[in-house]
Chain A
Amino acid sequence: MGRRYTGHGTGAVGTDKSLLTLISATTIRPCLYEIITGCEATPADQATDFKVVRFTAVGVEGSGFTPLAHDPADPASLADYGSGVFGTEPTYTASAFLLQWSQNQRVTFRFVTIPEMGFLAPATAANGIGIKSSSATGTATHEASACHVE
């Protein structure tokens, strides 16, 4: 079984705003197998459309998140997470939606699959998979957590 890691990102939703990106490496094909999203703001009836999309350029992330190993004995992850307020959004591949859903601000969403059967990213530098809001009726701060195996 591959090594498993967790990443976390927080950010305001809106039109094409990334919450969390999994950045691949040339030596590994990371596989994203779990996603949890929710809103930390005061409950309100606002809707957000989320998408999980491949990207070919990482953009300028607000802050990185060092992947946390599920097994403390594992080495540092080869893949990396990008989070925070993105100065430049990643270059997402058109029509490469791996998962998409609309979510009310009051709802907590979780997707999980078998670790090896998740969303695969190519072993190419600056490529990866991003979790982003493609449109939203509000701007509340949402959180996204993800787990990947490599």
Chain B
Amino acid sequence: MPDERAHSSTNAIGYIEAFDPEKGKMEFDTLRCPHCSGHFVVRPGSGKVRSFCGHCNRLLCDLCSVKFAMNGMKCVHVEQLLHNIEHGLPDDFVPTVVAMPGKLWLPQDIKRPSPIPGR
């Protein structure tokens, strides 16, 4: 029967199974950390408090939780992390994004001729 609870453990995307000759088969669900692509075991009702990235809308693993807190809640998604490694940038580098009020300037706007003659 599907579990309809809004619980992170119901969104598990990884699976661990271990076979112990004495205890038999043991199974665990895992979640994927959006900041490092690592997986961590999730246990429903464990009471463990984890960091949550509002940008990624996902729970973070323990190591990334520490980095997240130390970097002032700066989101470095795994795609950005891989980009940083590939281009020799610091692991926590995030490009600056500037929002200008009024109009969204796109690259093609610069090339467009002015509607006012002579300008």
| Interface of A toward B, CB cutoff 8 Å | 29, 43, 52, 56, 95-99, 101, 103-104, 106-114, 117-124, 127
Contacts and interface: CB of A to CB of B under 8 A. Distances in A.
Contact of A120 (B18, B37, B40): B37
The 6 closest A-B pairs by CB, nearest first: A98-B38, A113-B14, A122-B85, A122-B82, A108-B19, A120-B37
Interface string B65-84: 00000000000001000100
Contacts of A112: 14-16
Contact of A117 (B13, B63, B86): B13
Contact of B18 (A97, A99, A109): A109
Interface in B29-85: 30, 32, 36-40, 63, 78, 82, 85
Contact of B85 (A101, A107, A124): A124
A110 B19 CA distance: 9
Interface residues of B, number: 22
23 contacts: A29-B82, A56-B85, A99-B38, A99-B40, A101-B16, A106-B20, A107-B19, A107-B20, A107-B21, A108-B18, A112-B16, A113-B14, A113-B32, A114-B13, A114-B14, A117-B14, A117-B32, A119-B38, A119-B39, A120-B37, A122-B85, A122-B86, A123-B86
Given A109-B17, A124-B86, 9 more contacts: A43-B21, A95-B63, A106-B20, A107-B18, A112-B14, A113-B14, A113-B39, A121-B82, A123-B86
Interface in B1-36: 13-22, 30, 32, 36
B20 A111 contact: no
A98 B16 contact: no
A114 B78 CA distance: 16
